[in-house]
Copies of this chain bind each other. A is one copy, B any other.
Amino acid sequence: GYAKIDHHRSIRNGYPEVIYCEGKTDEHILGIIEKMSQKNCNILGTRVKKETYEKIKKIYPNCKYEELGRIIKIQNKPIENIGKGNIVVVTGGTSDIPVAEEAYHTAHFLGNNVKKLYDVGVAGIHRLLNNKELLFDARVIIAVAGMEGALASVVGGLVDVPVIAVPTSVGYGANFNGLSALLTMLNSCASGISVVNIDNGFGAGYLASMINKL
Contacts and interface: CB of A to CB of B under 8 A. Distances in A.
Interface of A: 2-4, 6, 8-9, 12-15, 18, 22-24, 28, 84-85, 92-95, 97, 118-127, 129, 139, 147-150, 153-154, 156-162, 164, 167, 169-200, 203-204, 206-207, 210-211, 214
Contacts of A129: 125, 129
Contacts of A156: 123
B185 A148 contact: yes
A214 B2 CA distance: 31
Contacts of A197: 172-175, 186-187
Contact of A210 (B160, B171, B203): B160
Contacts of A171: 187
Contacts of A28: 94
Nearest to A93: B189
B188 A183 contact: no
Contacts of A127: 4, 6
